[in-house]
Amino acid sequence: MKPNFRCLLLLTILIPSLFICFSKSYSQMNENFWAKLYGEDRSDVLHTFLILPDGNVILAGWTNANINQNEDIILVRINEAGTILWQYSYFGDNLDYAQVISPSLDNNIIVGCHTRSFGAGSSDILLLKVDTDGNIIWQKTYGTYDDNAIASVIPTSDGGFLVGGWSYLGGGRSHDATVFKTDADGNVIWAKHYGTKNYEGIKDMIQTSDGNFIFLGVAYSEESNDDIWLVKIDPEGNIIWQKSFGGLENENPSSILRHNGLYYIFATTNSFSDNASRDFMVMVVDENGDLQWALYYPDDYETTVINANIFKENKFLITGSAIPKSKWNSDMLISIIDENGQFEKGMLFGGNESELGHCIRQFQDNWILAGGYSYSFSNGNSDIILLRTDETLNLPDGELKTMDYELSVEPQPINLITVVTNATIDTTSLTVTDANLNKAEMNLVMRNLNVISSADFVQKESFLQLFLNPNDNLTIKFNNSLNQSVTLVIKNILGEDVERISIEPNVSQISIPTRKLGNGFYAIYIEELSLFVPFILY
């Protein structure tokens, strides 16, 4: 048989057109896969975001980049590539921050906020209605004489809003769940509080298929501590049914989603692991609140679920945080499960300090957008972090590191205790006042964490030598032994990873079979060393 000899050409001088081609292919790849930071020199935190019909995104949270260092509401509009289009802070003399965001029926935006600057109580709920350019339409506060907080806002068919949270009423009661209905201008139509002498509060709300509403909350009971609390109400706030579910320790719910006539509840639990560590759990109920199934997901982390959403019709996205055993700080968690609760994929994103996910959504067909805050890479105390990926949960190599999130065993069925919660309705009225937020432009700076650009391509051909052996193996010889662990990636002209190899310190050379590589242009890329060496096989 005639030998099939191949040749290798190391491009010590990178041909400009080839450089542009590599850069363009990487750029196209990274338009969809990226991690970005938004921040100033103090603390900036994302609580939630809203995806607009045109693909732009409104980020909502808070900043303390002001003279008094109080938290101020921030709204930032970005395009699909993450570029800032406008950014504003809205503030009073005290603490104010955005908690939830929703579209209104007139194509504007309602932002549910927490305020200590305005209102009748120590802290009040603030509804801020703005247009898609961030201009204030109206702003009102709602509260009792003491503390009040918001957890959810839902647009209703009459143009108004249903708002859920909690209020402190006093009179021997602790915090009660609060729901109130407004018209399109923010005027209260009715307000009701649901509770016992113990603590109750709302975490999320959803409209049911029959035009009623279910609010998801937490309720304390002496027999099982904090429990998952579900209450179905009619459009006037009257209770249709209420049920609580829990283990012997604490359950902390975060999200409720409707799917195929069932309701999926996502929560954090301390009740079912051997050492009372935090795990995430999912339970499913029908329209009557009857439990269909419940699973918890054992892992080797302290895991907290903060937000969940539907993905690709029959899957669910989950975000929050997980603390690996080897770390004191948390990583941002993204997981995917199917409609039967089976675990499909999980990934942790982090650095040397803490990252946490607050919000996750399906974005433009089958992409995923997740956001929260980061301490590891911030210019100040914390920065807003935003990730764009797909169901592989991959990101380009960069500052933000990824690690597979895996369960220690398969998801486990759990037997939840059904607890009787006889919450009663209190009709204490809310005091409504007009707020007077100031508005100012901000100076958030967007930085790329995991995007490779042409500026990152540093040629260091003197660092290594390439040889093509007769047996068609590619030998890479390092002129100086490595003093750190690195990942060597061979990329093709499309920017795709053809081969990824982990290399330990003090290795002087490696050999790679080239049968996977056809004739053409390739590049060796080692991100840790800013090394980029193109070559040709022919």
Around Cβ 165, how many Cβ atoms within 10 Å?
28
Q: Quick one: pLDDT at residue 1?
A: 40
- Give the SS3 label for residue 463: helix
pLDDT digits (tens, 9 = 90+) for 463-503: 677 777 666 678 888 876 677 788 888 887 666 778 888 88
Q: Quick one: pLDDT at residue 461?
A: 45
Question: What confidence category does residue 8 fall into, taking pLDDT thresholds of 50, 70 and 90?
Answer: low
Q: Quick one: pLDDT at residue 103?
A: 98
Residue 356 near residue 46 (C-beta atoms within 8 A): no
Q: Quick one: pLDDT at residue 171?
A: 66
Q: Quick one: pLDDT at residue 380?
A: 73
Q: Quick one: pLDDT at residue 248?
A: 86
Q: Would you say residue 14 has pLDDT above 50?
A: no
Around Cβ 444, how many Cβ atoms within 10 Å?
21
Q: Would you say residue 25 has pLDDT above 70?
A: no
Q: Would you say residue 532 has pLDDT above 80?
A: no
Q: Quick one: pLDDT at residue 487?
A: 85
Lowest mean pLDDT among 6-20, 127-141, 410-424, 505-519: 6-20
Residue 499 near residue 490 (C-beta atoms within 8 A): yes
- Give the SS3 label for residue 528: helix
Q: Quick one: pLDDT at residue 243?
A: 94
Q: Would you say residue 403 has pLDDT above 80?
A: yes
Question: What confidence category does residue 452 fall into, taking pLDDT thresholds of 50, 70 and 90?
Answer: very low
Q: Would you say residue 283 has pLDDT above 50?
A: yes
Q: Would you say residue 453 has pLDDT above 60?
A: no
Q: Quick one: pLDDT at residue 497?
A: 79
Measured between alpha carbons, how far is 45 from 358 in angstroms, rounded to an integer?
Answer: 9
Q: Exposure of 448 by Cβ count < 10 A (0-12 exposed, 13-18 middle, 19+ buried)?
A: middle
Q: Quick one: pLDDT at residue 491?
A: 82
Distances (CA, A) of 181 to 162, 206, 209, 314, 327: 5, 14, 19, 32, 45
Of the two residues 477 and 134, the one the predictor is more confident about is 134
Question: What confidence category does residue 401 fall into, taking pLDDT thresholds of 50, 70 and 90?
Answer: confident
Average pLDDT over residues 333-343: 98
The residue extents of the domains of the chain are 8-28+459-537
Q: Would you say residue 3 has pLDDT above 80?
A: no
Q: Quick one: pLDDT at residue 2?
A: 41
Q: Would you say residue 39 has pLDDT above 80?
A: yes
Q: Would you say residue 460 has pLDDT above 50?
A: no
Residue 17's H or E segment, with its range, is helix 16-30
Question: What confidence category does residue 19 fall into, taking pLDDT thresholds of 50, 70 and 90?
Answer: very low
Question: What confidence category does residue 523 fall into, taking pLDDT thresholds of 50, 70 and 90?
Answer: confident
Around Cβ 114, how many Cβ atoms within 10 Å?
22
Distances (CA, A) of 84 to 79, 173, 393, 415, 444: 7, 45, 24, 47, 9
- Token readout for 525 is 């890329």
Average pLDDT over residues 91-96: 94
Around Cβ 184, how many Cβ atoms within 10 Å?
17
Distances (CA, A) of 346 to 2, 317, 431: 49, 10, 45
> At a CB cut-off of 8 Å and minimum separation 6, what does 332 contact?
319, 321, 348, 349, 350, 355, 356, 357, 370, 372, 374, 385, 387
Quick one: DSSP state of residue 428? P
Question: What confidence category does residue 309 fall into, taking pLDDT thresholds of 50, 70 and 90?
Answer: very high
Lowest mean pLDDT among 44-48, 240-244, 443-447, 451-455: 451-455
> At a CB cut-off of 8 Å and minimum separation 6, what does 411 contact?
295, 296, 297, 298, 341, 342, 343
Give whichever of 126-140, 195-209, 272-286 has the largest mean pLDDT: 126-140
Residue 202 near residue 215 (C-beta atoms within 8 A): yes
Is 8-28+459-537 CATH 3.10.20.30? no
Average pLDDT of the chain to the nearest whole number: 87
Q: Quick one: pLDDT at residue 459?
A: 41
Closest Cα partner for 418 from 231, 238, 244?
244
Average pLDDT over residues 235-255: 94
Beta bridge partners of 5: none
Q: Quick one: pLDDT at residue 173?
A: 66
Average pLDDT over residues 185-207: 95
Closest Cα partner for 316 from 268, 360, 278, 370?
360
Average pLDDT over residues 9-33: 52
Q: Quick one: pLDDT at residue 6?
A: 60
Residue 215 near residue 164 (C-beta atoms within 8 A): yes
Of the two residues 122 and 51, the one the predictor is more confident about is 51
Q: Quick one: pLDDT at residue 98?
A: 98
Closest Cα partner for 192 from 176, 174, 216?
176
Closest Cα partner for 115 from 97, 139, 138?
97
Q: Quick one: pLDDT at residue 7?
A: 64
Q: Quick one: pLDDT at residue 458?
A: 38
Average pLDDT over residues 258-275: 93
SS (H, E, C) 147-211: EEEEEEEEECCCCCEEEEEEEECCCCCCEEEEEEEECCCCCEEEEEEEECCCCEEEEEEEECCCC
Q: Would you say residue 457 has pLDDT above 50?
A: no
Measured between alpha carbons, how far is 218 from 199 in angstroms, rounded to an integer?
Answer: 8
Diameter of the chain measured on Cα atoms: 95
* CB half-sphere exposure, 415, CA atoms < 13 A: 0
Q: Quick one: pLDDT at residue 475?
A: 84
Beta bridge partners of 315: 311, 338
Around Cβ 61, how many Cβ atoms within 10 Å?
28
Average pLDDT over residues 70-86: 95
Q: Quick one: pLDDT at residue 326?
A: 67
Measured between alpha carbons, how far is 365 from 368 in angstroms, rounded to an integer?
Answer: 9
Measured between alpha carbons, how far is 380 from 375 in angstroms, rounded to an integer?
Answer: 8
Question: What confidence category does residue 514 fall into, taking pLDDT thresholds of 50, 70 and 90?
Answer: confident
